[in-house]
Structures are given as C-alpha cells and as structure tokens.
Amino acid sequence: MLIKLFVIAVLLVILYSLGSALLCLVKRKDQPDKMVKALTVRITLSVTLFIFLLIGFATGILKPHGLNTNTAETKTIQY
C-alpha cells in the first residue's frame, strides 16, 4: 500500500510540475528559465518513476494484476 501511495504522490508532483511549466509559458514569458527548470524536474521524475516501476516488476515487489480472461464472455465454445 505504501508503494501505491508513493507512485501516486510522484504522479501528482509530475502533474504539478507540468502545470507550473504551463503557467510560466502562458503568463511569465519573460522568465523562460523557470519553465525549463519545471520541465526538467518533470522529465527527471518521470524517468525515475519509470525505472522504479521496472525494478519493482523485475524484483517481484510490484505485481501487475492484468485482465481476468476467465470470464463467461471470453470463453469460446468448443464443438
């Protein structure tokens, strides 16, 4: 459960950084350095989260649940 909260928190920080960059682009056109810094933070967090998820899947800490293919709608009739 703690890992899920960590992933959600990082995603929220990524969205905040993206919104901050958008605000700098629209309102503060004379300060492009802030926009570049916000986008750099977003890219760094995105890559870090992706690597964290890959390591989690590889080590077995995180398990993808996938789709349930054993439902009545997906079963084929064999004659």
- pLDDT, averaged in runs of 10, over the chain (79 residues): 90 94 86 87 95 92 74 60
Residue 25 neighbours by CB under 8 Å, 6+ apart: 35
Q: How far apart, in whole angstroms, are the C-alpha atoms of residue 24 and residue 31?
A: 7
pLDDT of residue 74: 55
pLDDT of residue 65: 76
pLDDT of residue 19: 92
R_g of the chain, CA atoms, integer Å: 20
The answer to whether position 36 is within a domain reads: yes
The answer to whether position 26 is within a domain reads: yes
The answer to whether position 34 is within a domain reads: yes
pLDDT of residue 49: 94
The answer to whether position 31 is within a domain reads: yes
Q: How far apart, in whole angstroms, are the C-alpha atoms of residue 55 and residue 62?
A: 9
The answer to whether position 41 is within a domain reads: yes
The answer to whether position 68 is within a domain reads: no
pLDDT of residue 71: 61
The domain tally of the chain equals 1
Q: How far apart, in whole angstroms, are the C-alpha atoms of residue 22 and residue 18?
A: 6
